[in-house]
Amino acid sequence: MIFKVARLGHPVLRMKARAVSQAQIAEEPFQQLLEELRQTMVEYDGIGIAAPQVHLSLQIALVGEGAGRYPKAPRLKPTVLINPKVRPIGRRKVTDWEGCLSVPGWRGQVPRWHSVAVEAYNGGGQKVCFKASGFFARVIQHEWDHLQGRVYLDRMRGLKTLTHLEEFEKYWDR
């Protein structure tokens, strides 16, 4: 099943998502949900998706497929993050363009930590800890924000770089 993506303005996007119990992860309905989230991300051509974006207030995020909207971006390893904790490594931030399935048709420049440490459960219910940097770290932070009730617009330093997608592709995506 392909879910309908919640758009900016829907209250679910501004709520902190609920944690998932570790026992729940192994259950068939939860595994089916992960597959449906993946299918939705691919259908909408996203590089990541979080459960709140499909009207589910749960601490689940997927990263790494459907990169067609970001053709110049590196390919990311498909990653499932359940109940993630994300913290910066170092002090370096990088500003780059972002878009969002829940804010369709727009791009903006967003400062993000260059490197992050991640602790979460994977799709099999095992605890995983890893470091991410560059584009991978950016996508993880973007999806983690959704689990906290934030969107990328909240992280922008101002709205001067907010750009309609067609204008972005014409003037900025070089």
Question: Catalytic positions, please?
Answer: 143
Helix (H, G, I), strand (E, B) or coil at 72: coil
Q: Which residues contact 94 (CB under 8 A, 6 or more apart)?
A: 111, 112, 114, 138
Percentages helix, strand, coil for the chain, rounded to the nearest 5? 35, 30, 35
Closest CA to 134 of 113, 119, 151, 154: 113
**Cα–Cα distance for residue pair 171/12, rounded to 1 Å:** 33
